Structure 1
């Protein structure tokens, strides 16, 4: 099982991020957290890097089912997505594989929630990007 699922969008990070957010919303996901890694590294270390952002996506219904099955799952939520731009100005989006949650905890009820999360996230990202 792959720990991350990656996709490529042929646009700069700012544009790709807006596209990804819209696709996730269509699948019932909202963004709960976001970290502008580029800005943090600039402010804290004085380092300039290529654009890099981390988003925490959550589908409340799926998250609720997963946490009802095993409250420890909250440590793995929200689902993390890393977006980073390459030298050509294209963006790679890597998604934390939700199947790892059920594989890690072995709790009844988590497999269904993990599968649904992966299917919806994959559907959203495939609608706007190509798998890498």
Structure 2
């Protein structure tokens, strides 16, 4: 997949309405339905504002990184290849540029694990994670029934 200059390795999802989670700890239910929980939330724009100044934050727009984890999948992956812990939790980026016109949700492609390991167990986990993550991303894109023009990218 190629998306906005980023090569293969991301699952992108466009979400046209300018809606990010309402506040820290407020997340749509899409990831939960697929067994993912949100372990961390990092507000990159707020960090940039605090460390680099408001201009850096303004140039970035709203940008939040959610650390999502499906414990059952993580357990299977780590049992097969403990080194894969460096890829956990799965980062999900929720961002909206300074123009405020579109919210974009992206996550790492679980098949990245397969590129790092020849283990058949890792391939099984990656395939399962891929299916679940795509389902979560699509449900996030359709989470706002007031905006049926959401544009999920399969």
TM-score by length of structure 2 reads 0.77
SS in 2 for 1:48: helix
Which residue of 1 is the match for residue 145 of structure 2?
none
Say if 1:33 and 1:55, in contact at 8 Å, map to a contact too: yes
After TM superposition, the runs of 4+ consecutive aligned structure 1 residues lying more than 6 A away are: none
> Any unmatched runs of 5+ in structure 2?
2-7, 142-151
SS in 1 for 2:84: helix
Say if 1:4 and 1:95, in contact at 8 Å, map to a contact too: yes
Within 5 Å, give how 1:17-96 maps onto structure 2: 18-19=27-28, 22-46=29-53, 47-49=56-58, 50-86=61-97, 87-96=99-108
SS in 1 for 2:105: strand
> Any unmatched runs of 5+ in structure 1?
none
Say if 1:12 and 1:89, in contact at 8 Å, map to a contact too: no
Report Cα offsets for 1:30-71 as digits up to 9, x if no partner.
Answer: 011221001100000113331000111100000000000010
Question: Whose helix proportion is higher, 1 or 2?
Answer: 1
TM-score by length of structure 1 reads 0.89
SS in 1 for 2:106: strand
RMSD, aligned α-carbons: 1.7
Which residue of 2 is the match for residue 115 of structure 1?
127
